[in-house]
Amino acid sequence: MMRVRWVGIVQVLVVSGGLLAAQAESALDARAARCFRVQWSSVRYDKSVVVENPAISKTSQGMSETVTLSCQVEIRDPSLVLGVSRDGVITQIVDSEGRQIAVDAPVTRPHQMFEGLRYEQQFRRPKVSRWDTIVNFVMRRPPPAPGPPQFVTELQPSRITMRLDKTLLGRDSGELPSVKGYFHALVAESIENIDVPFEPNDTWVRLTPDLEIQVREAVCTASSYRFWIDTRPRGAGGMRPLAVGEPLPGRMVVNRQFIGEDGKPSRYSGTPPILPAPVGGRGSGGGGPNSQVKAIRFVIASNPTERKIPFEVSHIPLPNPEQ
């Protein structure tokens, strides 16, 4: 077996401006909120009526109505943001007369899981820089022909949902001028990238105080790759997803990437948006021009903390149950 050659820690991102300094929690949350932009995306009204067979059920008929507000969370600075909870919590609603509507006391759904950041690769045509556009205009040259589309990796917005009281429906204004609330987010103090050569070896590499990995198999072909990563203790790479309110580790693996010859993640690289990220196991990938893997990158978050991120959305239209 070949011994591992350390590529080592190639990047460290450290929080700046005292985002996680020792201040009051409310101030920290307000500061962290600058990393996010929240917009309402939809309001959904659902009604279901169930008729039971009286011969086998004591309940003859049941009905339920739900109103769900969905919001899109754009992450403006993802360098230290690890993930967002799926559920939001409403703390204040203002009607068209400027009056506050009573809302239930905030309750966090049990076992609400954090969802990691989600990236997608899409075809995009290269953009002509503003400077080149000005030069071409001054020189009276025709604009250059657009280049061929290229794959680019783009961060996708996260989504949160909240239940609205069905008694809000049927109001004359047909909308809610203001809805305030918060959602939970995980924010790291710093991020480290630990690169391990993509080659079989007999050396255990420590990622966190309670997790080591060893590359047992690493094979590349012209257009694909496959691997087998063992973990110690055995099975530690498939940890249970983190839930809101649970104790957080000092170090946590948040992504596993396969780095090509050009130093970029392979086209189908990366783990699902689960926290902590899957680490060990067998797998394969490829199908693109960057399938010659040179290293496995484990992205480690140090000192993650849970934050309540306040938000406000305005002019929320209310569905009409009679339509």
The pTM of the full predicted model, rounded to 2 decimals, is 0.79
| 100-113 average pLDDT score | 77
More confident residue, 139 or 10: 139
Cross-strand pairs, 185: 84, 307
Q: What is the predicted pLDDT for the residue at 223?
A: 80
Tens digits of residue pLDDT in 311-323? 999 999 998 887 7
In whole angstroms, give the CA distance from residue 286 to residue 120: 15
Mean pLDDT of the chain: 82
Q: Cβ(284)–Cβ(268) under 8 Å?
A: no
Q: Which pLDDT band, with edges at 50, 70 and 90, does 98 fall under?
A: confident
- Of the ranges 67-76, 194-203, 267-276, which one carries the lowest mean pLDDT score? 267-276
Which one-letter amino acid corresponds to residue 228?
W
* Cβ pair 80, 55 in contact under 8 A: no
pLDDT in tens, 27-60: 458 888 999 999 999 999 999 998 888 888 887 7
Question: pLDDT: is 128 or 293 the higher one?
Answer: 293
Other Cβ atoms within 10 Å of 291 Cβ, number: 21
Q: b or e along 33-62 (b: 16 or more beta carbons within 10 Å of the residue's beta carbon)?
A: bebbebebeebebeeeeeeeeeeeeeeeee
At 74, which amino acid appears?
E
Q: How far apart (Å, rounded) are the C-alpha atoms in residues 210 and 214?
A: 14
| pLDDT score at 206 | 96
User: 33: helix, coil or strand?
Assistant: helix
pLDDT at 141: 75
Strands (E), the chain: 8-14, 36-51, 61-75, 81-94, 100-101, 114-116, 118-124, 150-156, 158-164, 175-187, 190-197, 205-208, 211-220, 224-232, 251-260, 281-286, 293-302, 305-317
* φ, ψ dihedrals at 291, nearest 5°: -90, -10
